Structure 1
Amino acid sequence: MANLSEKLRDMQPGVDAYITPDRIARYLTAIADTPAPSTAATAMRAPVLQDLLRSDGALKDGQLVLDSNFRNTASTVLIAGDQSLPKPLWYFAHMDTISYLTRPFDGRRFPLVPFCYHLTINGTRQAQAYRYDLLNERYFVVDDGWIESELGNAFFRPKDQSTRLRPGDRVVPVTPCLPQEDGYWTGHFDNAGGVSALAVAAPLLAEAGVNALFAFPDEEEGPTGSGNQVMGRGGSRIIDQLPPPDLAIIADMQQAGMTLNTEEMTSEPQNSVRIGEGAVLSEFSSLARGAVTPPSLYALARHLIDLLPGLGTKVQESNNIYTSRSDDISVMLKTPNILLLGFPGINRHFDLASPQAALSDIVDLSKALVYAAMLQPVIRCLNDRGGHV
């Protein structure tokens, strides 16, 4: 604890030099503009992630290794440090996006089954329908079109009225990842923002010799339901292969301002987190139906974020009006030592319009993820001395 501030200051020059807005924007744009329906996300996004890391030279020396089908779980991981397992430090950011399954044509359009929390109550969103080509081993666009939502029911209307979808096709909402005049960005950021933040942080931690597992589950979004294990099944498949870590950090997009309760579909009061004011630390998710950070660990995390403004990194503390559960619902079955570090945004599931976030917040998140790695040795030390974090 006494050396933590000094260690963070020693890390700052390298963190600031590598985690830049330009690099985050490059990763964010490439990942957000690649559709990634649940259970197909690894096939569609893992090659993009690999190309980004290779272009930065992050995979050349073996300190960071990408496995796009970790232990046959159909999810991607990055292994930093020595290549042995287990790892004392986990990072999670789901790679998939909201998507929809198809039902038979009703004469006008295709009724959809949400493979996600469908939050577009009324309105139209641009979308694409994807199909897997077995012969060429790739996904391709069957047709562009629109998701039409009426009273919570979703439909796909293709541009070509002769298009016929079939079982196995996936429909995803799409929107270009672009900066706007107000300085914010639009794009499909849930959870391209978290994936980008982790991917940019990983090479720095690998170079520093930090032993960590960076997990990008293929299925965090998923069918609606009240049980914790209904969603987040990709993460469950990963953690089933591993013993508990000292610390797990979950990165995801968190709703800023007025929001909808994704569990109850009711209006929520104003969240304290604001776009453009930094990454977000939350104590618990889904009104305690998700992970709850133990008080001792939360006190340690608070100590960390109090030090970060001096390093030019902003992290705001959530007022816990509502924080969405994410891969924490899987990881909490292995360890209670979970930190929820995310970034603020609005309309993460195309609620009222296209999703919106600030690039600067994702930069702050990536930096905070690097600095948070310094908590793991503190936790290990306290536990070895008979304490408990």
Structure 2
Amino acid sequence: MPMSPPTDERTAVVSGVGGWVPPHVVTNDDLSAHLDTSDEWIRTRTGIRTRHRVLPGMATSDLAVEAGRRALENSGEPRAGAVVLATTTPDRICPATAPDVAARLGLTGVPAFDISAVCTGFLYGLATAAGLLAAGITDRVLLIGADAFTTIVDPLDRSTAVIFADGAGAVVLRAGHPEEPGALGPIVLGTDGELSHLIQVPAGGSRQRSSLRPQAPGEQFFQMEGRDTFRHAVDRMSTASRDAVRAAGWTVADLDRFAAHQANSRILTAVADRLGIPAEHQLSNIAAVGNTGAASIPLLLAQSHADGRLAAGHRTLLTAFGGGLAWGATTLIWPKLPGS
């Protein structure tokens, strides 16, 4: 069920956005040099031409700090009262990565924590940030989605190595009024743990460690059952999107922009077709950056805002799907940002 925004003055409002990808670019031809694939095969099945990869020694926190810094600068205010980091690839199993990110941004002392919802992490992060604001814990939240996904992908697995990439995106959310531009609409979230096996990293957690059995070859890498994942991704994002649009009091015809998790071009096309969203309203960056996990939507928003595809007044739908299984959607009218 959608969660309605607070009815008082403490609705979450987007007031800044930023994104960053590491400088190392990997082309389809680069991958074809050691995988049984080709540029044409990758492009026709995923829509991806290039992706970015962390350099040796670079971690998720490095991506998050740069995106967070840019979002704070764009907001016109270098401070935030809380930092929430959505990631599947923390720097370490323990402790959380967000406190380190906060400290490096000069925010030592504020509450900072990680959330894990794989590629839906940013949507869950929006709900979390909205809750912090509604509760009066802070007036400003820095929400970052960041993943160094190539660190958990088998470089010899053609089904995943060509798709996943590294990057970070961030938004600043402030307390505001539900009627002003940038205010989040009702947020739709859901999970189905009975299908958690479709997207997983089998080894490294407490279940595998406590079993005392040796780790099987490849279990340390990200695994995905592609065909079933495709079907559920299209179904869940389509349904969540309709629910979010309806809860906002809109229709699909009212939408100006559609910003979906950049999972795969075929999934994006299938969801847009099912919803009836025309191509000119669809935001996409998958060809240049691939699937960046929890960074996907905020990175897309940052790049689309920077190049003018996403402008003040655009009625925008956000939706995502990922491991868990987990999914989500929400709406907002894109604001005029201070750093624009």
Normalised by the shorter chain, which TM-score bucket? 0.3 to 0.5
Which protein is richer in helix relative to its size?
2
**Could you tell me the TM-score, scaled by structure 2's length?**
0.34
| Larger Cα-atom Rg | 1
Higher relative CO (CA 8 A, sep ≥ 6), structure 1 or 2? 2
